[in-house]
Structure 1
Amino acid sequence: MIKSVIFDMDGLLIDSERLEMSSWRQAFREMGLPFSEQLIASCRGTGREDIRRRFEAYLAGKPVGFDDLLGRKNQFARQVTAREGVHPKMGALTLLSWLRDKGYAIALATSTDEEIAAQKLRSIGFYEYFDLCVYGSMVALYKPAPDIFLHAIGLLGCRPQECLVLEDSPNGIRAAHAAGAKPMMIPDLTQPDDELKELLWAQGTTLLDAIPLLEDDRAGEEGAL
Structure 2
Amino acid sequence: MPLKAVLFDMDGVIVDTEPLHRKAYFRMFEDFGIDVSEELFTTFTGASTKRVCTTLIDTFGLEADHEDLARIKRHHFKNYFDTDPDFDLIPGVKSLIENYYENGVKLVLASSAHMNTINWVFEKFELEPYFIGKISGADLQESKPHPEIFELAADMAGEPREHCMVIEDSTNGIEAAHSAGIFCTAYQSAHSKNQDYTKANLSVFDFSDIEFEKVQKYF
Write out per-residue CA displacement over residues 87-133 of structure 1, whole angstroms, 9 at most, x where no aligned residue: 21111111011111111111111122323311221111112210222
Deviation at 1:19, TM superposition (A): 1.3
Cα distance in 1, alignment partners of residues 193 and 213 from structure 2 = 27
Structure-2 change in CA distance of 1:16 and 1:57 (3 Å):
same
Residue 214 (structure 2) aligns with: 216
Deviation at 1:139, TM superposition (A): 3.3
Identity value in percent: 24
Cα distance in 1, alignment partners of residues 67 and 22 from structure 2 = 17
Residue 4 (structure 1) aligns with: 5
* 1:6-155 alignment runs, 5 A limit: 6-60=7-61, 69-84=69-84, 86-155=87-156
Cα distance in 1, alignment partners of residues 206 and 94 from structure 2 = 12
Structure-2 change in CA distance of 1:162 and 1:34 (3 Å):
same
Cα distance in 2, alignment partners of residues 210 and 63 from structure 1 = 46
Cα distance in 2, alignment partners of residues 23 and 138 from structure 1 = 21
Write out per-residue CA displacement over residues 22-79 of structure 1, whole angstroms, 9 at most, x where no aligned residue: 222233345443232232222222224322321112212x688765654443333222
Cα distance in 2, alignment partners of residues 122 and 50 from structure 1 = 26
Deviation at 1:192, TM superposition (A): 3.5
Deviation at 1:137, TM superposition (A): 5.0
RMSD value over aligned CA atoms? 2.5
Give the letter aligned to residue 215 of structure 1: E
Rg larger in structure: 1
Cα distance in 2, alignment partners of residues 70 and 40 from structure 1 = 15
Q: Normalised by the size of structure 2, how large is the TM-score?
A: 0.85
Contact 1:163-1:181 at 8 Å conserved across structures: yes
The gaps in structure 1 that reach 5 residues or longer are: none
Q: Normalised by the size of structure 1, how large is the TM-score?
A: 0.83
Structure-2 change in CA distance of 1:15 and 1:55 (3 Å):
same
Q: What is the number of equivalent residue pairs in this alignment?
A: 215
